[in-house]
């Protein structure tokens, strides 16, 4: 599960620079096992898309909370300013497009983690989940998921830095 940021409109100096794609999310490179037949990519997909399934003694409904997409859309203006500023520096030769990708990838990753750590999701966890965990933070239990999110620049993985 990942969200990608691409430069869509071509500035005047587009021909002087290479396009850059930034992806933030859970990737195979930073995936980890959670239980029998379940891993972090599956967990992230379940948490962001939601699911209805049968539990041991009752049915389970997990509402979708599209944290990657919502973080990107909530911060789009700030991210666009950063990308535009970076591309202007590329056109002057003082920065490479990959550097912009790293800077934006790290910033977006930090924003997503902050949303997870704040834990303000609507709807919150079910009462039974809150009782079990001891708190109401849908994407947080041990911190491993948030720490394991990573980013890519032009499809090259740079980890959870």
Report which of 25, 109, 27, 123 is spatially closest to residue 75, judged by C-alpha positions.
109
Which DSSP symbol is given to 154?
T
Average pLDDT over residues 6-32: 70
Cβ neighbour number for residue 135 with a 10 Å cutoff: 12
The CA-to-CA distance between both ends of the chain, in Å, stands at 18
Confidence of residue 17 (pLDDT cuts 50, 70, 90): low
Q: What is the pLDDT of residue 16?
A: 53
Q: What is the distance between the alpha carbons of residues 57 and 42, in angstroms, rounded to a whole number?
A: 22
Both structure tokens of 137: 């933070």
Residue 145: partners with Cβ closer than 8 Å, 6 or more residues away: 26, 40, 43, 44, 116, 139
Tens digits of residue pLDDT in 92-121: 778 888 888 888 889 999 998 888 888 777
31 burial type by CB count under 10 A (0-12 exposed, 13-18 middle, 19+ buried): middle
pTM of the model: 0.75
pLDDT at 72 over 50: yes
Average pLDDT over residues 126-138: 78
Q: What is the pLDDT of residue 151?
A: 92
Average pLDDT over residues 33-45: 83
pLDDT at 11 over 60: no
The average confidence (pLDDT) of the chain is: 79
Instruction: Give phi and psi for 140, each to the nearest 5.
Output: -125, 130
Tens digits of residue pLDDT in 75-88: 888 888 888 888 77
């Amino acid at each position: 599960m990942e969200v990608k940021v691409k430069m869509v409109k071509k500035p005047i100096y587009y021909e002087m620079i290479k396009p850059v794609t930034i992806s933030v999310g859970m990737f195979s490179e930073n995936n980890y096992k959670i239980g029998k037949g379940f891993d972090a990519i599956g967990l992230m997909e379940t948490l962001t898309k939601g699911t209805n399934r049968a539990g041991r003694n009752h049915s389970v409904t997990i509402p979708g909370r599209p944290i990657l997409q919502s973080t990107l859309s909530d911060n789009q203006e700030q991210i666009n300013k950063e990308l535009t500023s970076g591309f202007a520096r590329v056109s002057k030769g003082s920065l490479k497009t990959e550097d912009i990708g790293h800077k934006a990838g790290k910033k977006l990753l930090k924003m997503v983690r902050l949303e997870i750590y704040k834990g303000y999701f609507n709807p919150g966890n079910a009462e039974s989940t809150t009782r079990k965990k001891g708190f109401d933070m849908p994407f947080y239990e041990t911190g491993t998921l948030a720490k394991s999110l990573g980013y890519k620049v032009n499809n090259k993985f740079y980890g959870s830095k």
